[in-house]
Structure 1
Amino acid sequence: MVRFPLALSLLLSASLVLAQQPATTTKRPTARTPKPVAASGTTLNRPIPLDPDVKVGKLPNGLTYYIRKNAEPKNRAELRLVIRAGSVLETDAQQGLAHFMEHMEFNGTKNFPKNELVNFLQSAGVRFGADLNAYTGFDETVYQLPVPTDSAKLFERSFQILEDWAHNATLDPAEIEKERGVVLEERRLGRGAGQRMRDTYFPVLLNNSTYARRLPIGTEEVLKTFTPETLRQFYKDWYRPDLMAVIAVGDFNVNEVEGIIRQKFGRIPAVANPKPRKEFDIPAHKDTKVIIVTDPEQPNTVVQVIYKRPEIKERTLNDLRESIKRGLFNTMLGNRIQELTQQANPPFLGGYSNYSDFLGNIDAFTSIAVAKEGNVEKAIRAVLNENARVKQFGFTATELARAKQEFYTGVEQSYSERDKTRSANFVNEYVQNFTDNDPYTSIDFYFDFLKKQQAGITLAEVNALVDQFIRNENRAVIVMAPENRNAGPGQAKLPTVEQIIGYVDDAGKGLTAYEDKTLDAPLVPTPPTPSPVANVKEIKEIGVTEWTLRNGVRVVLKPTNFKNDQILFGGSSFGGTSIYDLKDFQSARFSSTLASLGGTGAYNQVQLGKFLSGKQVNVYPYVSELNEGINGSAAPKDLETALQLLYSYFTQPRKDADVVAGFLSNQRSALQNQIDTPTPQRVFQDTVTVTLGNNNPRRQPLQPADLDKVDLDRALAIYKERFANAGDFTFYFVGNFTEATLKPLVEKYLGGLPATDKKEKFVDLGIRAPKGEVSKTVYKGLDPKSSVQLVYSGDLTWSPETTTQIDALAEVLEIKLIEKLREEESGVYGVSAGGAYSKYPVPRYTFRISFGCAPENVEKLIAKTQELINDLKQKGALPGDIAKFKAETQRETELQLKDNQFWLGYLQNQYVNADDPTEVLREADLLRKVTVESTKEAANTYFGKNYIRLVLMPEKKQ
């Protein structure tokens, strides 16, 4: 897997995903997240102290290790092998081989020949791709292995895998030849408008540095022609102990793990005359570099202004304090730019400004805007004016106070969860310490440091940062646009390089200071009349209690201790958009979105966000096709606020015609972009949706004209109807609460909701996938790449036995597809087989097989897929593959049973479907019923006559 730094990944994205932000999301600082430390000493010039709970050592051969005991999750460990070598170290003849080497580690080592490594781990319940994985970046390669620790033999064997990766790769020429196709298919997946434009602007953005010429995926020519010896040379040069770290975090004995590491990795010989590991720079430049790139498959116009500057190293306590200031700066500026999209006529479809690390030796302050109607000038001026507004007038004291509270709340939550933090959350800190010398430190110390330092950070200090971030030198502007936007009626022409520099230099003229408009009013001005719990039912087997309130509301509770600071909740009832005629469909489908855009009660959307600042509260209503409902989360201390917000969304929807007009205007513009310059994948996915929906009017792609059918008043009327009667709602609460503390809040805010005895049902709209065989081929796209989806569907007998058999069939088929299409045929990078099922509106299943490949291989790979399906029909699954499915399911369930999110979703599904809530306890029995014969029967049942073949092919040459 190829991986880029976060900031660079955002820049490489050729278009931004535009989505409405939840109205009540609590924002957190998005700068380089400060590493927690513990206060000691009185001077800020002291080094940032490292976390004493981490045991760090170095072997005589130079290998470094990090070991930490952590009990969450129980009986699990996260292992990493880190190589401080990536694509930047490749020679011209090795371009792409750092990443290729990563692939080969899974294709044969001394102790795990060929594909035995993947086979061994799957048998232990470790999934390939989802759990077992690796990535290659510019400067490092990281192998990740999450493993159980309750089997001493398996745990010890896992370290053998890491050792084999370190120095025992076999690099069999035959396996190398097979893997060429897989890596070339991964490279094929990355082709498109973004790649073509990146190839043009990357050398300019990175000032012709080595990084610009060493994308981890490499070049097609090298990948096709390199010799095995060239790959072996990269392995020999850079896979050596002085450039390696082993990281182990988990539920184990630290001394025992240290002994295993010393024994296994100590036998790796040190390199006598190691090749110097050079550090690479991105040279600074005095001028402003402007790159305008267009592409016929780029759907929108994106403007990016990047102010590059030397990397800020965090080494001392003062550096840590500075990182807090940057986090506060990012939060406040991000909030301001978000507000611009919440006005009547937003200047862009989306945008942000942010300071973060970038690549190599540089950081960057980056401003990005997605232009509306291709108007580059308006978009770039809007986002740069917000930067300039800070430069001229600074932030306000109230903004800083909110940002500090948000920052503090986020750190406080991490502190409160310190004994429940999952091992996976620790390992990246140690990876970054090894690769970049970034300090890692305890949350105890950092929280104490924050409490002592944050109050003293002044507004003037934070305001002064803008002069550090925004400077005339070492900056670049990238404009990415659709090729057909250069001219045309109703479309803005792209500006010249000189005009763009003028926009950047002239930003900030005629500005006024930001006005921080807030509101301080109760969310619920009139206290609701409580309704007491009238009936109690206990389901002791799973620790669940049901309450029925006097107003008819049903409440399902599962108190847990999985997280200290988390309560999740949700509620739903039948109805949804299905009960409305087609003429009201668009208003109905947007009803909850438009209601949320209005805010609630006395608060508009912006004011509500400010009011909730610093609170761990997230609540959002929804109206789907068959249901309406509300979901949310809160810290225990903020639960009453969350329930007040829930009550307000039910009873006090707020109309904001200006914000809705702006939202619909942006949606029209975004949709028009997609019509004017449709991407191949978008056209294909629309075809898939329409085909599976049997061309039903409610399964058509959204068009700009559809938004003209959205009537705000009708949408709000529908919203009110959907939430007018809580009597047919069931609510669910999972997390750290007691029934005694929750009961008065539930009785007040849920018991106070309007309710009747009326029980609604959804309407079966009759939307089913077409029967029989259907084949559709879409010809779209310039690149030689195809996408394939094979879909089977039909009616279903609803039972846990049935759904378990579908899950098993999906897993055993996917195992075989990976073996056949990827490992044997080298025809795909990834392939998925998934079985979905639902009880409503009628019990149905959909089985979908998906992969991307070369156009010339489509027919062959579909034929191979059908061969595997026919083999399952005739013989059933192999016992070994069934054992893998059972092991993976059991291991996954062990984790899920200690996860609040799982329980919330599980309970919602069981109650909505009227299924037994204790079904989860039957898993062992259900898995026992998965046999060779049952998979044979399932294959013949679910791979039936309703077969839809959907293929995306490149455009035919004229």
Structure 2
Amino acid sequence: MKKPLIGLYLIGLSFIIPSLLSAQELSSQKVPLDPDVKMGKLKNGLTYYIKKNQEPKNRAELRLAIKAGSILETDAQQGLAHFMEHMNFNGTKNFPKNELVNFLQKTGVRFGADLNAYTGFDETVYQLPIPTDSAGLLDKGLQVLEDWAHSALLDPSEIDKERGVVLEESRLGRGAQQRMRDKYLKMILNNSRYVQRLPIGKDSILKTFKPETIKAFYKDWYRPDLMAVIAVGDFDPAKVEAAIIKKFGSIPAAVAPKKRVEYTIPLDGTNNIAIVTDPEYPQNVVQLIYKLPGKHEKTLKDVRDNFAQALYNSMMGQRIQELTQKANPPFLYGASQYGEFLGNLDSYNSIALAKDAASVETAITALLNENIRVQKFGFTEPELERAKKDFLNSVEQYYKEKDKTKSSSHVQEYLDHFLHKKPFMGAESYYNFVQKHLASVKLEEINMLAKTYISKKNLSVIVMASDKGKDVLPTEEKIKELLADAGKDVAAYVDDAVNTPLLSQDPKPGKVTAEKQLPKLGTTELVLSNGVKVYLKPTDFKNDEILIKATGKGGYSLFPNERETGMFTSYLIRAGGLGPYNQSQLQKFLAGKTVNGGPYIGELTEGIEGSTSPKDLETTLQLLYALFTEPRKDADVVSGILSYQKSYLENMQKTLTPEKVFSDSLNAVLTSNDPRRAPLKPESIDKVNLDRAAEIYKDRFSDASDFVFTFVGAFSIEAIKPLLEKYLGGLPSTDRDDTYKHLNIFPPKGRIEKTIYKGLEPKSRVMMVYSGEYDYSPENNIKIEALQEVLQIKLIEALREEESGVYGVGISESTDKIPTGHYRFNINFGCGPENVDKLVKRTMEEISKVKQKGADARDIEKFVAETKRKTEVALKTNNFWLDYIDDNIFLGDDLEEVFRQDELLKTITPASTKEAAEKYFNDANFIKMVLMPEKK
């Protein structure tokens, strides 16, 4: 339960701790598990976890977990734990060949997005979300899990077909990161077995292994004593338990099973340093890994002691963040925290992104000094007080949402219990425990952690940089000197917290001048006396969440000759803080409150996005009011930000990665080299002016009358009205008629084909784009969506399952209503250079089939099912309604359009997809871009 810091405890009702217990008493009590979770173990050794949970309704989350991963492979099996995961989707006893994916898609389960699995060093986990509102579906889902557990067919022909898919997945992982990782991995893992058992395995084995080899792995390790079935969702737990006992109890126990060895990473006390560079790595990263013996929560004292760990991480995170907010920050980004590492180890990690190669030494020194500062002087009482407020606020939020927590979150808790022996208490139990024992965590206890975490042994230092800067990187000897001299001159931390009112003066309230009910939408529309329009949608989807969005038209499109400053305006103003507070002081002022919000200025719009809880709504509205009326600029902080941005772009320009070159080339083609869409360059930063940014910000937020505010969440209309009148009604208003100036930049007409040669690895990428003018309407939009989905299904079948040439295929569609209608289809995939032409040809053939005959009726059935299921869940979330209302108002679309979905879905037929494909896959407007490795 050490990571994440709180989420793993939180489920349902449990025991209540009657009084504050001593450390000795806590040490004698095991962590009690949430009794609302039904746990059991079958005679064959299989473990199961069952919990009824109604978020989301009519859904269940199923998991099959196996305590077997790549660490258990023999030399001849390297990569086959992961390969086995793939094969479970390629034919089982009850779902031969691809029938599993086909069946699930018809129920609305999406392959990849919903139906998925992963293989790690020590475990393999299969995930299956399944609807529970149709007869037999849940039972079918459990049948899928049972098949995965012991009924994989492992047909040799299917194995051979899947080799190409797994090799393509391996190819995707190649590049600078992988090459550098291979150089330092032995060092940080102390040359343990983990170094030799990366889950992806070895290509040479993946190409040539015999079916008997993978069958042996399946027989040895897919056995009930190493398995758990997890079911959480909207169902009858008794019926699910009976089904699990019936289905999984019949699996025979292993006879003379192989011992499941728990492999470890030895701690030998040595320190080591790795300085690795690569010609395709554009950044400069330093990492300090202090390796420590792993800790496991077994008793209530362990739970209580981990409060100190969480508070330490919180306070250290705040200090590191403050360093990045200085006038001359030592690094662009940084973090230091204690957490799990791998195997039997935990670690204290410090990481930083340096400005450039010459600044790596500065970044290392800053991380070391900040660690030693805490070790020497400790934290302060005000820091601890704020951290406790934040910690308790987070726990309270989880507690308040205990009946609104998604089933997928609960599933993760039980996985961690089975795989890593992490206990789960339940939300109420943990909340009560925190309330009773958080105060007992004293500053001295937390300060002692620094002496444990920051050690002079078992430290790995990693520097990753571009080849182009390696001559100015610190040497191994220099880094040893830095380690020896760290913290010699550091002084105690000085807390700059202030406590003054956020607003210099109270707003002059306005009034609601008009009110309109939108009953079908469950929304109320208000107009305030200053012209501000507000849409209010109270919901019961969450108990402690209110989401806010405000949108006005204009953006930096109104400053066409100041694009660079416009793009950075909101970022620079946010960096300055607000009212009387600089950025770090504002964060401290808001400790213990759920107040999140900030301004943005985009190309066509400006606005504010935020979230809060009912108890902190007024503070959030004060913050929102201040964002309009009391922005703050800090020239010193901005100078540091821009300096780092320029260095970052210089690094990217010096070390052009294949991905960057391809992306920039594609952008140039799609925008016809329009300079207003050109990627930022180092010299772009020289054009950014803070004073002008402040003027642009003031201009965009000086008139609230053209803003539309949307509030969605846990509030009542009558209770929120007075707050809205005070803070939104008091915003400045000039009642100007504002809009944006659309650049009208869309992909060019005609056929364009271009090949880019860049990259050291034998990997290619293909992007195909169809675009053109478009009659924007709900009827056409659903046709575009259907076309995207049916083609996605077909290309996965063709390019992955039949050609074995790709790991995945991405197909996206987008439509524009303003300034005029346009559509765009993107089709992209990665593959071997030798397969580009073949796979492009096959893609065109599949598109041609849809143009000639329309989509297969079975694929349309899948699209309809997936769309309905996805919408059912989305309609019960605050995020959906916030974006839906805001987007539809901006575009002028019908707010009740979502209720037409069933009607619109009925219009999707093979004939309609044929018509849409003929119109939108227009060969006359076609772009093909291919990335190939550099010619040798």
TM range (shorter): over 0.9
Report matched runs for 1:425-824 at 5 Å.
Answer: 425-487=409-471, 493-582=472-561, 584-824=562-802
TM score, norm. by length of structure 1: 0.95
Separation of aligned partners in 2, 1:641 and 1:937: 54
Partner of 1:97 in structure 2?
80
* Paired residues of 1:34 and 1:320 also in contact (CA < 8 A): no
* Paired residues of 1:776 and 1:951 also in contact (CA < 8 A): yes
Partner of 2:356: helix, strand, or coil? Answer: helix
1:722 partner letter? R
* Paired residues of 1:209 and 1:281 also in contact (CA < 8 A): yes
Separation of aligned partners in 2, 1:34 and 1:561: 24
* Paired residues of 2:535 and 2:709 also in contact (CA < 8 A): yes
Work out whether 1:189 is the aligned partner of 2:167.
no
Partner of 1:115 in structure 2?
98
Partner of 2:60: helix, strand, or coil? Answer: strand
Separation of aligned partners in 2, 1:420 and 1:624: 34
Match of 1:137 among 110, 120, 126: 120
1:896 partner letter? A
* 1:103 Cα offset (Å): 0.2
TM score, norm. by length of structure 2: 0.98
Partner of 1:250 in structure 2?
233
* 1:689 Cα offset (Å): 2.0
* Paired residues of 1:555 and 1:731 also in contact (CA < 8 A): yes
Separation of aligned partners in 2, 1:481 and 1:563: 45
Report matched runs for 1:915-954 at 5 Å.
Answer: 915-944=893-922, 945-954=924-933
Separation of aligned partners in 2, 1:858 and 1:905: 39
Kindly provide the CA deviation profile for residues 113-141 of structure 1, in whole angstroms up to 9, marking residues without a partner as x: 00000000000000000000000000000
* 1:838 Cα offset (Å): 2.1
1:256 partner letter? K
Partner of 1:125 in structure 2?
108
Separation of aligned partners in 2, 1:885 and 1:818: 14
Report matched runs for 1:848-887 at 5 Å.
Answer: 848-887=826-865
Separation of aligned partners in 2, 1:832 and 1:456: 52
Separation of aligned partners in 2, 1:314 and 1:287: 28
Separation of aligned partners in 1, 2:355 and 2:893: 48
* 1:506 Cα offset (Å): 1.5
* 1:868 Cα offset (Å): 0.9
Kindly provide the CA deviation profile for residues 674-729 of structure 1, in whole angstroms up to 9, marking residues without a partner as x: 11112111221122222212211121111110000001111110111111111111
Shift in CA distance, 683/181, structure 1 to aligned 2, threshold 3 Å:
same
* 1:756 Cα offset (Å): 2.6
Number of equivalent positions? 925
2:564 partner letter? Q
Kindly provide the CA deviation profile for residues 26-61 of structure 1, in whole angstroms up to 9, marking residues without a partner as x: xxx965866358554742111011010110001111
Moved more, 767-776 or 322-331: 767-776
Separation of aligned partners in 1, 2:215 and 2:868: 39
Work out whether 1:381 is the aligned partner of 2:383.
no
Separation of aligned partners in 2, 1:757 and 1:332: 45
1:452 partner letter? K
Work out whether 1:395 is the aligned partner of 2:379.
yes
Separation of aligned partners in 2, 1:373 and 1:529: 49
* 1:765 Cα offset (Å): 1.6
Kindly provide the CA deviation profile for residues 805-841 of structure 1, in whole angstroms up to 9, marking residues without a partner as x: 1100000000000000000000000101111112123
* Gapped regions of structure 1 (runs ≥ 5): 1-5, 8-28, 488-492
Shift in CA distance, 83/175, structure 1 to aligned 2, threshold 3 Å:
same
Partner of 1:490 in structure 2?
none
* Paired residues of 1:30 and 1:330 also in contact (CA < 8 A): no
* Paired residues of 2:8 and 2:413 also in contact (CA < 8 A): no
Partner of 2:896: helix, strand, or coil? Answer: helix
Separation of aligned partners in 2, 1:346 and 1:604: 15
1:44 partner letter? L
* 1:518 Cα offset (Å): 1.0
* Paired residues of 2:7 and 2:398 also in contact (CA < 8 A): no
* 1:151 Cα offset (Å): 1.5
* Paired residues of 1:409 and 1:616 also in contact (CA < 8 A): yes
Moved more, 627-636 or 677-686: 677-686
Separation of aligned partners in 2, 1:370 and 1:593: 19
* 1:731 Cα offset (Å): 0.7
1:449 partner letter? F
Shift in CA distance, 39/468, structure 1 to aligned 2, threshold 3 Å:
farther
2:50 partner letter? I
* 1:773 Cα offset (Å): 0.8
Work out whether 1:157 is the aligned partner of 2:140.
yes
2:560 partner letter? D
1:638 partner letter? D
* 1:766 Cα offset (Å): 2.7
Separation of aligned partners in 1, 2:821 and 2:167: 41
Shift in CA distance, 778/129, structure 1 to aligned 2, threshold 3 Å:
same
Partner of 1:240 in structure 2?
223
Instruction: Report percent identity of matched pairs.
Output: 57
Report matched runs for 1:57-96 at 5 Å.
Answer: 57-96=40-79
Partner of 1:14 in structure 2?
none
1:778 partner letter? I
* Paired residues of 1:167 and 1:240 also in contact (CA < 8 A): yes
Partner of 2:919: helix, strand, or coil? Answer: helix
* Paired residues of 1:805 and 1:935 also in contact (CA < 8 A): yes
* 1:505 Cα offset (Å): 2.4
1:35 partner letter? Y
* Paired residues of 2:290 and 2:453 also in contact (CA < 8 A): yes
Partner of 2:869 in structure 1?
891
Partner of 1:200 in structure 2?
183
Partner of 2:26 in structure 1?
44
* Gapped regions of structure 2 (runs ≥ 5): none
Match of 2:162 among 179, 185, 208: 179
RMSD: 1.3
Separation of aligned partners in 1, 2:539 and 2:42: 43
Match of 2:388 among 404, 407, 426: 404
Separation of aligned partners in 2, 1:386 and 1:30: 23
Separation of aligned partners in 2, 1:938 and 1:456: 66
Separation of aligned partners in 1, 2:664 and 2:394: 39
Partner of 2:91: helix, strand, or coil? Answer: coil
Work out whether 1:35 is the aligned partner of 2:9.
yes
Match of 1:300 among 259, 263, 283: 283
* Paired residues of 2:132 and 2:235 also in contact (CA < 8 A): yes
* Paired residues of 1:288 and 1:501 also in contact (CA < 8 A): no
* Paired residues of 1:552 and 1:756 also in contact (CA < 8 A): no
2:617 partner letter? L
* Paired residues of 1:38 and 1:449 also in contact (CA < 8 A): no
* Paired residues of 1:31 and 1:355 also in contact (CA < 8 A): no
Kindly provide the CA deviation profile for residues 513-561 of structure 1, in whole angstroms up to 9, marking residues without a partner as x: 1111112111222111111111111110110111111111110111000
Work out whether 1:368 is the aligned partner of 2:347.
no
